Structure 1
Amino acid sequence: MALGPAIVVDQFGYLPGHQKIAVIRDPQTGFDANDALTPGASYEVVNAVTQAVVYSGAPAAWNNGTVDTTSGDKVWHFDFSSVTAAGEYFIRDRERGEVSPRFKIGADVYAPVLKAAVRAFFYQRAGQEKTVANAGAGWADAASHVGPGQDRNARLYSAKNDASTERDVSGGWYDAGDFNKYTSWTAGYVVDLLQSYLGNQPVWTDDYNIPESGNAVPDIVDEAKWGLDWLGRMQEADGSVLSIVGLSHASPPSAATGPSYYGPASTSATLNAASAYALGAKVLGGFAAHSAYAAALRTRAENAWNWAVANPNATFRNNDAANGSEGLGAGQQETDDRGRFTARLIAAVYLYDLTGKAVYRDFVENNYAQANLIRWNNYVSPYEGGMQLALLYYASLPGAAASTATAVRNAYGNGMESEWFWGKVTGKADPYMAFIPDYIWGSNSVKSVQGSLYLDLRRFGIGSRSEAEVMRAAAGYVHYLHGVNPLGKVYLTNMYSLGATNSTNQIFHAWFTDGSAKWDDAKTSAYGPAPGILVGGPNATQYDWDSRCPGISPLCESQRPSPPYGQPPQKSYKDFNDGWPLNSWPIAENSNGYQVNYIRMLSRMR
């Protein structure tokens, strides 16, 4: 039997005690509207090894047969939650013969997927040799950006001919599909990696096949330390932290020979680095081998705070022609007054947790009510994840004022009970069981954060929802990214060896570039992109080709590519990595931010 596109499941599998729902789809609008389907009256769960039918039942129409506008689909749900025995299965329409991809049921179905997702950070490391043993033959590469004029002796962007500005800014991670290294964003990745560790410590092991594996420290902590090492090199003697390093690009990364340049210190970079230093000191201080390193991080954190307090408005806009930084980096990481305030509040939380000092506690107590969660009356949002997590973390600390902890917990709990969260779950707002308000740039990251919003209720003991309810709500977002979506697409790259039937084949990335015989496409190139990288996802509002198309280039052809253009929001995706003028990056680029949001969510599925 051939696999049919009509039945979508989590292609990796389901935990035994969790809800299990296969989605049967009848497309009504969008590029696949002609693929009409009338489901049979009975569906079966079939053991893929023995071919025995272990369960059968009738599918139930979602919302009485309503067409969902976000996907353009009419949908039925086939609930097979009663199947709990470990094994490999598929779903079959008994009358029509169509079958789903195979999937597993077991307590460890997500363990190899989580390992691949964390290992994606290893492939993003700058200055790290990627040996065959660690990277696999397909992605082995020499250390990148360590040649003359590169990261080990980078110069200030505005003094490119001044050797006195040279400094070692090696290490760190390529930020996304571009190879640049941004301090504020890197600091956020470090914090989220460490929070992933703290959120479910038993799941983390020391066998992820990275160079640090086997050192008696969980590999996710080792990966966070790689980022902290780089942030340490970015700190000046006065406590300030440089804002960015711009790198040259090539495929593979070791082939890049252009010079590296850095930007000056900024308040936002320094405050964000302070958070990473502080939480890093807290976590790494728990490992005897890193006690001295943790002590040094504590000093870095406090020095960064002190500099930022004394210099509250130091800004630097990279890649901005107005100040001569055009070409330094790509994305703009500088923020406004509100952004600096938020960074300072988050830093104060982690510094207080580390040091217990009143200066940091007082700042949180005096300013927490200015966070949007509080000042906008129980405002919970997937776009406020870092601030919300920091406040929940603070509210869990024994030294937090009881009134503050209560206010934070109540605001979060009440916000989650609103129509935008539990209301969407109980109201069955999304037939694919992973509601988000908009499909924008990085929608897969938003899905991941949204799943974690539910999981944080359990982590911090907030609200009256049962563990089963919380896990059911959060699991919908995991299943969506693993194939329970209108495309039946696993939104992780090259996961066929781990059981995916329809995995992301291409991403917009300087290494895995369009046209590369080795890395362009997981299906047609020698290797494809490295496994486990979360792609940006459907983008209904911010994707378009170059505005001068079609006349500017024959690559435009005569019309915009559809999909992704002109589709229902959940179908506004294409598995492609074309550069200019088709501009795939708003859909097909990765980001370490997307990656760590997915990791934090998946790591708590148990």
Structure 2
Amino acid sequence: MKRLILLLLCATGGATAAPGIVKVNQIGFLPGSQKLAVVPQGAGTRFEVVPAAGGKPVFSGTLGAPARWDASGETVRIADFTGLVAPGQYRIKVDGLPLSDAFPVKPDNYRALSVASLKAFYFNRTAIALAPQYAGAWARPAGHPDDKVVVHASAASGKRPAGTVIASSRGWYDAGDYNKYLPSSGISTYTLLAAFEHFPRWFERLDVNIPESGNGVPDVVDEAMWNLEWMLSMQDPADGGVYHKLTNLKFDAMVMPHLAQSAPRYVVAKSTSAALNFAATMAAASRVLAPYQKQYPGMAAKMLAASESAWKWAQANPAVLFKNPPDVITGEYGDARVDDEFAWAAAELYITTGKDSYYTAMQPETVSSTYPAWDDVRGLAWMSLAHHRDRLTPLADRGLISARADGLAERLAREWRTSGYRVPMKASDFVWGSNAVMLNQAMMLLQGYRLNGKRDYLLAGQSALDYVLGRNALGYSFVTGFGARPSLHPHHRPSQGDSVAAPVPGWVTGGPQPFQQDKAECPPYPSTLPALSYLDHVCSFASNEVAINWNAPLVYVSAALSELTPKDPSMSDKENTSTALDLLRRQEALLQFERFSNDMALDIGLKLVERAKAKKQVVTVEIARNGQVLFAHGMEGAPPDHMDWIRRKSNLANRTGHSSFYIHTEAVQNGLDYDAIPSFDPREYAAHGGAFPVVVKGTGQVGTITVSGLPGPDDHQLVVDVLKDYLKVKGDI
């Protein structure tokens, strides 16, 4: 029956434009988020928000000025109901139009989306049966163990001639097919790891219900490990080179994975792009895995060694560009240039090792910033450098790092401000995987927001998620299982081959794009306009396939918006910043001592280390009184440059009498670059969180407690949390 339904779909066509409806994020909003809907021109000038179950309006407003969006050929108006913050179920009402889809406003609204988008990776695992207690209706036998994989002639070497059999198990199926590719695996795995690095508290609380859940490692890290272990098996131990892909010679039929195992599988040719993707991802993974030695013993060191080995191979083989051998017709992932991969790998190795030679090798002044894609990863280098600015050696140009991150975010926000649909994408951005373009743009906007707090960047990131979830020209939610009108028939073999009517949930489909590479195999598209060129059925690999590198930014963005959206929507940005300064002043007023002895310094220092260890964090701690160091400890894996950061942060606290994070926050509020505050030489002072003044009541400041190793706000919070417990201070501070 399922096959018959799909045949009928292919005969009758897929999605059509939806010009006569109100388009809105179909899974709703957080109370503090921006809330916009798109309304067709000519439907009136005002709108109301009404309870979904009926009743009096709870919000009303005037529609924005008409604006044309070339990508869809429409003229539309914006309904802005950001001021609606009360939790509830609502619809938007505009005279002459049907009520909009119902949507909620509630705290924690994106948790289910975050879980499902991450669990999609579990559903695409190879070499493991998906048991009912984890997979529910989508349980299935194991597919493709890949424990006996043949070395293709293109991959042959002296120690591994053609026909050699190797094991290359685990990993994720790349997309709708059953093959595994290094370029898409690298960016996908990195994005999951970055999401955890940037928002650890979100993922520490996120239970995805996978076999590894409850092992003391966040599920996002465990899921990434499933693919990282496969990636490690793709490196030739003899020379450090990395095979480009593991594949059949041709694509499998539209059947379940356990029914598609008769054809032999091959590792195919090494390539420079594969080696550099591998090097970058393994360098990042070694940082993330370092605290989990108990669960993954020796893995962090193994990954870093593998990364440096792949880097050396790429340096010796800088232009081995991949092309499919004549007998291989599966996805190519060919890349005509690899300077972006060199920059990304160098950046990740620099961050992880602290070796200035990698920063020099990156040639940062020559590297621009773009939103990432599998074949253009420059933006990932800047994303990582911006996040780890507090930990970098003095060689790093922090002004350049800020300029790259902010410059890209500002370019995207500029498009968002002028777009008829209020999205950062323009018509020319609608390429294969356009929904991933939208989400990767959101991810880079949010880097700008994390760097400098410019609210437009957060709002534009929210708009990108809104687009994917229904505020688009077709009125679709492009995420399977979510929204009133989700994608139902993705080009995804497990979703097509099983007996379940609904597709595997949590996958974002590729989305509209005008090139229609599958039009010879599908019914006519509804339009050639970029934002309308979409078919929701299985034949459309060009607009309705799924892919791991498209889903990874959905994991990131849903987590980021959940963590970054203001929890108190009633305050403006300035008020929020002022409140932050008030809170920091309150901390400094309450966390004072009656006396401060050497033994107290020892006790507090050990508590800081114990708390960091419990959170699987790696930090260096120093406590000083009147210039004398009373406690100093670098945890296992802490780089030597932590001490330079401690010196400069504690210098700032001693000079100003405030915590270094207070000075950082004050600089942001005043629109200053906190790495270039007038009168503070950055070689001697660092306005990054982590140094807290030791104040003895009736005496004044006598020293500092300083932590380095985490992002500045987290360094600061670690000190505050320990002092609050030590001094038995009650209440929230």
The interval holding the TM-score normalised by the smaller chain is: 0.7 to 0.9
Which region of structure 1 is more displaced relative to structure 2, 209-218 or 53-62? 53-62
Tell me, in whole angstroms, the C-alpha distance in 1 between the residues paired with 2:410 and 2:322.
40
Aligned to 1:436: 426
Tell me, in whole angstroms, the C-alpha distance in 2 between the residues paired with 1:185 and 1:42.
45
Alignment of 1:475 with 2:462, yes or no, is yes
Aligned to 2:197: 198
Tell me, in whole angstroms, the C-alpha distance in 1 between the residues paired with 2:133 and 2:30.
31
Alignment of 1:131 with 2:137, yes or no, is no
- Partner SS, residue 315 of structure 2: helix
Alignment of 1:533 with 2:514, yes or no, is no
Amino acid across the alignment from 2:524: P
Tell me, in whole angstroms, the C-alpha distance in 2 between the residues paired with 1:433 and 1:12.
18
User: Are 2:115 and 2:206, in contact at CA under 8 Å, matched by a contact in 1?
Assistant: no
The structural deviation recorded for 1:152 is 0.6
Tell me, in whole angstroms, the C-alpha distance in 1 between the residues paired with 2:22 and 2:531.
16
Distance 1:164 1:75, change over 3 A: closer
Amino acid across the alignment from 2:281: A
Tell me, in whole angstroms, the C-alpha distance in 2 between the residues paired with 1:542 and 1:46.
40
Aligned to 2:147: 152
Amino acid across the alignment from 1:586: A
Tell me, in whole angstroms, the C-alpha distance in 2 between the residues paired with 1:333 and 1:69.
30
Amino acid across the alignment from 2:367: A
Amino acid across the alignment from 1:576: H
Tell me, in whole angstroms, the C-alpha distance in 2 between the residues paired with 1:592 and 1:136.
21
The structural deviation recorded for 1:166 is 0.5
- Report % sequence identity: 29
Distance 1:413 1:123, change over 3 A: same
Distance 1:408 1:385, change over 3 A: farther
- Which of 338, 342, 367 lines up with 1:371 in the alignment? 367
Distance 1:473 1:385, change over 3 A: farther
User: Are 2:153 and 2:161, in contact at CA under 8 Å, matched by a contact in 1?
Assistant: no
Distance 1:414 1:353, change over 3 A: closer
Aligned to 1:168: 167
Aligned to 2:554: 598
The structural deviation recorded for 1:447 is 0.6
User: Are 1:436 and 1:446, in contact at CA under 8 Å, matched by a contact in 2?
Assistant: no
Aligned to 2:139: 140
Please list, as runs of the form range in 1=range in 2, the aligned pairs for 1:144-543 lying within 5 A after superposition: 144-146=143-145, 151-158=146-153, 165-204=164-203, 205-238=205-238, 239-247=240-248, 249-250=252-253, 251-257=255-261, 258-289=263-294, 290-318=296-324, 320-321=325-326, 325-327=327-329, 330-336=330-336, 338-339=337-338, 341-364=339-362, 367-373=363-369, 380-381=370-371, 386-395=377-386, 396=389, 398-401=391-394, 404-418=397-411, 421-426=412-417, 428-438=418-428, 439-461=430-452, 466-495=453-482, 500-513=483-496, 518=498, 526-543=500-517
Distance 1:443 1:4, change over 3 A: closer
Alignment of 1:577 with 2:583, yes or no, is no
Aligned to 2:22: 7
Aligned to 1:587: 543
Amino acid across the alignment from 2:502: G
Distance 1:589 1:298, change over 3 A: same
Aligned to 2:587: none
CA displacement 1:256-285 (0-9 Å, x = unmatched): 122211113333212211111111110011
- Which of 515, 529, 541 lines up with 1:568 in the alignment? 529
The structural deviation recorded for 1:235 is 1.8
The structural deviation recorded for 1:165 is 0.6
TM-score by length of 2: 0.68
Tell me, in whole angstroms, the C-alpha distance in 1 between the residues paired with 2:85 and 2:344.
42
Distance 1:394 1:4, change over 3 A: closer
The structural deviation recorded for 1:441 is 1.1
The structural deviation recorded for 1:179 is 1.1
Aligned to 2:611: none
Aligned to 2:710: none
The structural deviation recorded for 1:402 is 5.6
- Partner SS, residue 503 of structure 1: coil
Tell me, in whole angstroms, the C-alpha distance in 1 between the residues paired with 2:531 and 2:132.
38
Alignment of 1:119 with 2:119, yes or no, is yes
- Partner SS, residue 187 of structure 2: helix
Amino acid across the alignment from 1:266: S
Which region of structure 1 is more displaced relative to structure 2, 268-277 or 404-413? 404-413
Tell me, in whole angstroms, the C-alpha distance in 2 between the residues paired with 1:219 and 1:231.
19
Tell me, in whole angstroms, the C-alpha distance in 1 between the residues paired with 2:502 and 2:179.
22
User: Are 1:268 and 1:335, in contact at CA under 8 Å, matched by a contact in 2?
Assistant: yes
The structural deviation recorded for 1:595 is 0.9
Tell me, in whole angstroms, the C-alpha distance in 1 between the residues paired with 2:376 and 2:53.
43
User: Are 2:382 and 2:401, in contact at CA under 8 Å, matched by a contact in 1?
Assistant: yes
How many equivalent residue pairs?
530
Which region of structure 1 is more displaced relative to structure 2, 391-400 or 16-25? 391-400
- Partner SS, residue 57 of structure 1: strand
User: Are 1:263 and 1:316, in contact at CA under 8 Å, matched by a contact in 2?
Assistant: no
The structural deviation recorded for 1:232 is 1.3
Amino acid across the alignment from 1:184: P
- Partner SS, residue 491 of structure 1: coil
Tell me, in whole angstroms, the C-alpha distance in 2 between the residues paired with 1:382 and 1:156.
31
- Which of 36, 59, 63 lines up with 2:63 in the alignment? 59
Amino acid across the alignment from 2:279: A
Which region of structure 1 is more displaced relative to structure 2, 270-279 or 244-253? 244-253
The structural deviation recorded for 1:403 is 6.2
- Partner SS, residue 24 of structure 1: strand
Amino acid across the alignment from 1:469: D
Amino acid across the alignment from 2:491: F
Tell me, in whole angstroms, the C-alpha distance in 1 between the residues paired with 2:243 and 2:416.
43
Tell me, in whole angstroms, the C-alpha distance in 2 between the residues paired with 1:145 and 1:96.
54
User: Are 1:505 and 1:575, in contact at CA under 8 Å, matched by a contact in 2?
Assistant: yes
The structural deviation recorded for 1:485 is 0.8
Select the structure of larger CA radius of gyration: 2
User: Are 1:385 and 1:449, in contact at CA under 8 Å, matched by a contact in 2?
Assistant: no
CA displacement 1:297-339 (0-9 Å, x = unmatched): 1221222222332333444423x32xxx423xx2222334x31
Tell me, in whole angstroms, the C-alpha distance in 2 between the residues paired with 1:487 and 1:314.
42
Which region of structure 1 is more displaced relative to structure 2, 184-193 or 397-406? 397-406
User: Are 2:416 and 2:422, in contact at CA under 8 Å, matched by a contact in 1?
Assistant: no
Amino acid across the alignment from 1:155: V
Ranges in structure 2 where 5+ consecutive residues have no aligned partner? 1-17, 563-733
Distance 1:415 1:269, change over 3 A: closer
Ranges in structure 1 where 5+ consecutive residues have no aligned partner? 27-37, 374-379, 520-525, 547-554, 579-583
Distance 1:368 1:130, change over 3 A: same
Aligned to 1:522: none
Amino acid across the alignment from 2:364: Y
CA displacement 1:59-116 (0-9 Å, x = unmatched): 33333xxx433222231222222210111111223x4472111111112111101111
Aligned to 1:549: none
Tell me, in whole angstroms, the C-alpha distance in 2 between the residues paired with 1:188 and 1:4.
36
RMSD (CA atoms) = 2.6
Tell me, in whole angstroms, the C-alpha distance in 2 between the residues paired with 1:385 and 1:107.
35
User: Are 1:25 and 1:486, in contact at CA under 8 Å, matched by a contact in 2?
Assistant: no
CA displacement 1:459-516 (0-9 Å, x = unmatched): 233xxxx543222111110100010011110001132xxxx11000111122333xx5
User: Are 1:126 and 1:171, in contact at CA under 8 Å, matched by a contact in 2?
Assistant: yes
Aligned to 1:109: 109
Aligned to 1:32: none
Amino acid across the alignment from 1:201: P
Tell me, in whole angstroms, the C-alpha distance in 2 between the residues paired with 1:263 and 1:433.
40
Aligned to 2:684: none
Distance 1:406 1:162, change over 3 A: closer
Distance 1:482 1:434, change over 3 A: farther
